[in-house]
Structure formats: C-alpha cells, structure tokens
C-alpha cells in the first residue's frame, strides 16, 4: 500500500508541476525534461509514470476532470433532487473561484489543443455527461444549457484573459444566472432553500 501511495503521490507531483509550467510559461514550457526538473526526478522517472508527453497531458486532463466532478457533486449535494440543483452547482463551480481544478483543466486544455486535439476526447465525453445531467435537472432544458454555456464562457474568459469579470460584477452575474433556474420545467417557481419553512 505504501508503494502505491508513493506512486500516486509522485504522479500527483508530476501533474502539478506540468500544470504549473503551462501556467507560468505557456504550452511551450511543457517538456518532460522541464517537468522532471520541477519535481526533482530524472526524465526516466517521469517516463516511468507517463510514457509520453501525450500521456502526461491525458493525465492532466483526467485529474482535472476528477476534481471538477467532485466539486460539482459536492456543491449539488445540498440540493439533491431539487430542480435546477445541478445547473446551480455547475455555475457555482465555475464562478465561485479560480481553484486548482480550474487551473488543471486550463493547463491540460491548452497543452492538448497545442499538441493533439484528439487528447480533448475525455473532456468532450465529460461535457456530454454534464449536458445530459442538465437536461434531466427538472428545469427548462434551454435554461439549463444557457447556464452551462454562460459558465463555460466565464471559464474561457478566465483561461485566456478575455476581460473576465471580477469582484462584485462576478458575484452579480452569478446571482443573475442562478435566478434563471428558479422555475421548474412546468413553470412553477422553485422555493430557494433559505425560504423554505
């Protein structure tokens, strides 16, 4: 068990170093040699865990998707079975902060686009799962999809530095987006948790 834990810790350190390199230096900074130097391993040590640069990028995206899934699930858990709960969790996961999962996905995305767009397939598949969940979220499917697309738009604005809103405006945009989820699929107003008896 200790060996497996050590292996997982080393993999995590390698992935963290790869994300940091992309964040600091862009995709051109992502080389096996540079990652090895960041972690204090030989190139062979990195190759032991990730046999190619593509495998490293796949690992970056895979880890990021696990983080994103956990965060959305955690945020949605307080509204289990409440119409629009998943849409609100999805929006909050994006608007709430620029956390490590956000950076991991961003680094992996940039590296994948630059190296081989086929590496984005796991991300495409996960978006399909999220979209399917949104369509079954108990609110109007167009509204649920609009919430996802707006949250995704903010993520891309953050990723590329495209005048992403900050501070109060960011909070107000999230509130406006969440208010769209207040009606159930049949048009009834959802009673927010804080207003329930």
pLDDT at 4: 77
Share of the chain above pLDDT 70, in %: 85
Q: In the chain, where are the structural domains located?
A: 2-188
Q: What pLDDT, on a 0 to 100 scale, did the predictor assign at position 187? A: 67
> Does 2 have pLDDT greater than 80?
no
**For range 99-112, the mean pLDDT:** 58
Give dist(CA 4, CA 53) in Å, integer.
22
- Identify which of 90, 175, 95, 187 has the alpha carbon closest to the alpha carbon of residue 138: 187
Can you tell me which residue has the tokens 């109007």? 140
Query: Within 13 Å of residue 43, how many CA atoms lie on the same side as its CB?
Result: 7
80, 120 Cβ separation under 8 angstroms: no
pLDDT in tens, 133-153: 999 999 999 999 999 999 999
pLDDT category at 105 given cuts 50, 70, 90 is low
The pLDDT tens digits for 158-197 are 877 789 899 999 999 999 999 999 877 776 776 555 544 4
Give strand ranges (E) for the chain: none
Number of helices and strands in the chain (H, E) = 9, 0
Name the CATH superfamily for 2-188. Answer: Tetracycline Repressor, domain 2 (1.10.357.10)
């Amino acid at each position: 068990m200790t060996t497996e834990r050590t292996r997982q810790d080393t993999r995590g350190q390698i992935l963290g170093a790869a994300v940091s390199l992309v964040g600091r230096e862009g995709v051109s900074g992502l080389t096996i040699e540079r990652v090895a130097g960041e972690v204090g391993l030989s190139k062979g040590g990195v190759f032991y865990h990730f046999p190619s640069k593509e495998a490293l990028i796949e690992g970056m995206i895979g880890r990021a998707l696990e983080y994103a899934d956990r965060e959305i699930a955690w945020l949605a858990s307080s509204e289990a079975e409440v119409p629009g709960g998943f849409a609100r969790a999805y929006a909050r996961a994006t608007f709430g902060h620029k956390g490590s999962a956000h950076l991991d996905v961003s680094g992996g995305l940039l590296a994948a686009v630059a190296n081989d767009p086929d590496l984005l397939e796991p991300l495409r598949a996960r978006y399909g799962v999220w979209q399917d969940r949104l369509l079954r979220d108990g609110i109007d499917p167009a509204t649920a999809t609009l919430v996802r697309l707006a949250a995704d738009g903010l993520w891309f604005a953050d990723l590329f530095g495209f005048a992403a809103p900050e501070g109060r405006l960011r909070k107000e945009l999230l509130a406006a987006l969440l208010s769209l989820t207040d009606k159930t699929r049949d048009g009834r107003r959802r009673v927010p948790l804080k207003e329930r008896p």
